[in-house]
Amino acid sequence: MRVLISIFMLLSVPTMVNPSPPYYIEPIETEEKKVVKNMELFLHDLGFKESGNRYNIVNRFGYMGKYQFGKSTLKTLKIKVTKEAFLNSPDLQEYAMQQLLKYNKKKLQNYIDKFDGQTINGILVTESGLLAAAHLGGAGSVKKWFRTGKVKKDGNGVKITNYMQRFSGYDLYL
């Protein structure tokens, strides 16, 4: 009991800046640090979600690297390389991701222009969210969601709308 009273007494004693009456308690001012959600953070967060940011991983469906690229996506981007070469080249994987973001942005530009900042079906639409969703399920599945409300899932059951929400609000400057 004595310990509790002592702790209570210590906690209830104000910190005084001016010891003479009237007592003034200095307010504690903390500056909130705003996290800048930029391209670098977007790539880190997306890579972490996809593979734990591991460049040399292949999942059970054959998707490769930090961003889990499929062979057909690499072919679309005109990146012709062996699986081993792709897995052993972080620079190539980063290049491929940049190219895919640009490719998907071009495919989705009309939707970005029309809906960015709006809430559709309970989801805030942002460029970064749409591009992440397109990475997961393809630009076509994002367009279909706008047209019909149909939500595509990947092989692991992850919905494109999950990516729209999770990766919303990054400044990509593509």
List, in order, residues 6 or more apart from 168 with CB less than 8 Å away: 123, 124, 126, 128, 129
- Residue 40's nearest CA partner among 104, 125, 128, 108 is 128
The tally of domains found in the chain comes to: 1
Single pTM value for the model: 0.79
Residue 96 lies in a domain: yes
Total H helices, total E strands in the chain = 8, 4
Residue 66 lies in a domain: yes
Domain range for 81: 40-166
Residue 28 lies in a domain: no
Residue 8 lies in a domain: no
Residue 23 lies in a domain: no
Residue 118 lies in a domain: yes
- Per-residue pLDDT 10s for the chain (174 aa) are 444 443 333 344 444 444 444 444 444 444 555 556 899 999 999 999 999 999 999 999 999 999 999 999 999 999 999 999 999 999 999 999 999 999 999 999 999 999 999 999 899 999 999 999 999 999 999 999 999 999 999 999 999 999 999 999 999 988
Backbone phi, then psi, for 69, in 5-degree steps?
Answer: -80, 140
Distance between start and end Cα atoms, the chain: 63
**Which CATH number characterizes residue 111's domain?**
1.10.530.10
